[in-house]
Amino acid sequence: MPIEWNEADQVFHLYNKKVSYLIQIVYGKYPAHLYWGRRVQVLQPSSILSFKGRAFSPTTEPDDLKFSLDILPQEYPAFGNGDFRKPAYLLRTHDGSTITEFVYDSHEILKGKRPLKGLPSSYIEDDSEADTLVITMVDSILGIGLNLNYTIYRDLDVITRSASFEHLGSYAIEIHKCMSMSVDFHESNWDWLHLHGTWARERHIERQPLLHGIQSISSTRGASSHQHNPFLALLSKDATEELGDVYGISLLYSGNFQASIEVDPFDTTRISIGINPFDFIWLNKPGEMFQTPEAVMVYSSEGIGGMSRTFHKLLRTRVCRGVYRDKTRPILINNWEATYFNFTEKILKELADVAKGLEIELFVLDDGWFGHRDNDKSSLGDWVVNKKKLPHGIKGLADYIQNKGMQFGLWVEPEMVSPDSNLYRKHPDWCLHVPGRSRTLSRNQLVLDLSREEVCDFLIRTLTNIFSSAPISYVKWDMNRNMTEVGSAALPPEMQKETAHRYMLGLYRILETLTERFPEILFESCSGGGGRFDPGILYYMPQTWTSDDTDAVERLKIQYGTSIVYPAITMGAHVSDVPNHQVGRMTPIQMRCHVAMAANLGFELSVGKLSNEDKSVIVEQIRLYHQIKEIVLFGDQYRLLSPFEGMDTAWMYVTPSQEQAVVFYYKTLATPNPPFFRLKLRGLNPKLKYRINNAEHPFYGDELMQIGKDMPLIKKDYSSFIFHIKAI
């Protein structure tokens, strides 16, 4: 059993082969954090903590003046009893106070892992895969229980955490803050790394030394956002891609979040992640329970790359679900950048005809097929086919595509409503708004109020009808604005601040229902590209449109940054036209293909206008993709050269058996008279002999990793190579 309770020392030890996590109940009351990191054996865990009286640090234990919650490393700290750092939670009680006294009451150690009600969570397929510890704390005056839930996976270096309040008392309380986890490290000599960006420039990497005080990232946009990803990592100063200690935390949630780090004057570091407490208040009534989203905590002693590979495996195999979890995805063509809103059935059929000739497998009809939507000013909410554009309906087009031997996919943006729509005219109060206030538009649209049950039910009905009306094998679920005037016409004043979280619960209910009802449909989520690329959404939809920026050079940074947490199989990547629609850059078709082939390959261009030469490159690359896609989508990724550091980018994927690998190398701008260059590979079996692209001369794995692969001298901008490596 990898969770042990040492009663004498009052210490819990959660461990697997590589990781230990130690918690001590101090004074029989306070869950203190002792350790998280590489697997350890500890003879006397209770001796880990020692205290020194600190001026201005109050004590809750009159007989021990050295003790203070202000300096105790804690598991789920409160505010108001002497700890002046950022608390994990804050409640406002019926008497107006925010003082609570939750103390240890009991605990339970369980085999396996329980799902979270109404929220996404990582899962197990067999009880032997994980063990769970629930520590219950109680505030006896309020009559409220606080459960701290911990799960440790047996074969993954992952601990998951969440918290829940169970109200058994008599008066309603307000939850103003309730993080999913909090941990106090005993030192602060770390860097932190996070992913930031904006539309078309998502998930760029930033690494900074920690400073005293608070540093944090967050979203208040009602979505996890393009701007920050619900993830951060602490890195030892010497951590590289392959070496050093790395602690990554990520949140399975698609709405407002906050991840923060506080370094105190004694150089301890508190990190936490959870729902953003800003503008959030949840009314917890007697008899009700409030459950936080789940946080995933990954420890790696093998650098940033080791952390990424653990996240990849967890997300790919124990967060993503459904029939597509373990399947490669069809190569698609999407009409968006080829036509935008200007299409007819004839144009779409021509696009599909050419795509079929290029051996593309799935045709996706994007925005503009419903209502009178000829631009982005109308019709969201009116999910009725535009017969002027598609006289034979969705079914007519889908049948045509299917008869060609291709699959058919459809774009929807269900969470939105255009003011110019029948839905809005009929139900003006179905959008997020505050009565009497203006309704701020973004992309000419408003956000439907998914905190309302009837709105969610309407969407489930409408989408069920659409998805069953034609042979639809793929759905692109878009979401193109963030929330403003966040309020619900259906909630009383004291519950208005619940709207944003209730929206997420509504969205998750819709997605759970539809994905269960249509298990054969491959769902791809999208929010103007990667504005909601998070582990929560992946629980329902196993891939995300990575970015609206399809330029091959920009995509190197976006896909490299995304891979810090998310595996290739969760990323949609398309080959698009040149000059590129976002940056105007001209890149060769081969490089555009090579970038998109490092994920779920797709196309989004006017295939009819391609030269014959470009068409044959596409066919050649699609054939190559079929040979390597399983390695890319299910292999272990090693990042070799970073696009954030120079003109060269390289990454590779290795099968779990280490018998095959595929290396992608990209050169953006060529260097005149360049130095010789050997690319050092990773993840191979040092003892195996490998052939590269079937060349006659083999190499040992350690040769390729230690001495490196000799690379050609490149005299051309935007060059790229793929090396398929096979053990002999």
Chain residues in the site for ligand DGJ (CB under 6 A): 336, 366-367, 411, 478, 480, 526, 528-529, 545, 548
Between CA 492 and CA 289 the distance in angstroms is 19
Peptide bond into 672 cis (omega under 30): no
Candidate list 9, 478, 549, 636, residue with the active-site label: 478
Between CA 550 and CA 531 the distance in angstroms is 15
The answer to whether residues 722 and 675 touch, using CB atoms and an 8 Å cutoff, is no
Q: How many CB atoms lie within 10 A of CB 520?
A: 10
Q: How many CB atoms lie within 10 A of CB 437?
A: 10
Catalogue the E-assigned strands of 546-641.
Answer: 571-576, 600-604, 636-641
Q: How far is the CB of 205 from ligand DGJ (least distance, A)?
A: 22
The token pair at 566 is 């998310």
Q: How far is the CB of 523 from ligand DGJ (least distance, A)?
A: 14
What amino acid is encoded at 37 in this protein? G
The answer to whether residues 378 and 364 touch, using CB atoms and an 8 Å cutoff, is no
Candidate list 70, 83, 548, 614, residue with the active-site label: 548
Q: How far is the CB of 529 from ligand DGJ (least distance, A)?
A: 5
The answer to whether residues 107 and 93 touch, using CB atoms and an 8 Å cutoff, is no
Nearer to ligand DGJ, 410 or 593 (CB): 410
Is 157 noted as a catalytic residue in this protein?
Answer: no
Nearer to ligand DGJ, 253 or 411 (CB): 411
Nearer to ligand DGJ, 367 or 636 (CB): 367
Greatest Cα-to-Cα distance within the chain, rounded to the nearest angstrom: 85
Q: Which helix (H) or strand (E) holds 424?
A: helix 422-426
The token pair at 102 is 């939750």
Between CA 577 and CA 350 the distance in angstroms is 17
Q: How far is the CB of 513 from ligand DGJ (least distance, A)?
A: 23
What is the C-alpha end-to-end distance of the chain, expressed in Å? Answer: 41
Q: How far is the CB of 230 from ligand DGJ (least distance, A)?
A: 20
By DSSP bridging, strand 30-38 and strand 636-641 are unpaired
Q: How far is the CB of 654 from ligand DGJ (least distance, A)?
A: 31
Nearer to ligand DGJ, 529 or 683 (CB): 529
Is 548 noted as a catalytic residue in this protein?
Answer: yes
Q: Which helix (H) or strand (E) holds 175?
A: strand 173-185
The token pair at 50 is 């020692």
Nearer to ligand DGJ, 13 or 389 (CB): 389
Query: Which residues sit opposite 416 in a β-bridge?
Result: 447
Nearer to ligand DGJ, 487 or 531 (CB): 531
The token pair at 294 is 């789940």
What amino acid is encoded at 360 in this protein? I
Nearer to ligand DGJ, 605 or 722 (CB): 605
Any residues with CB less than 8 A from the CB of 536 and at least 6 apart, and which?
Answer: 119, 120, 224, 230, 251, 252, 253, 254, 293, 504, 508
Nearest residue to ligand DGJ on Cβ basis: 367
| Cα–Cα separations (whole angstroms), residue 558 to 10, 142, 258, 305, 662 | 46, 48, 22, 16, 20
Q: How far is the CB of 369 from ligand DGJ (least distance, A)?
A: 11
Q: How far is the CB of 547 from ligand DGJ (least distance, A)?
A: 8
Residue positions annotated with a catalytic role: 478, 548
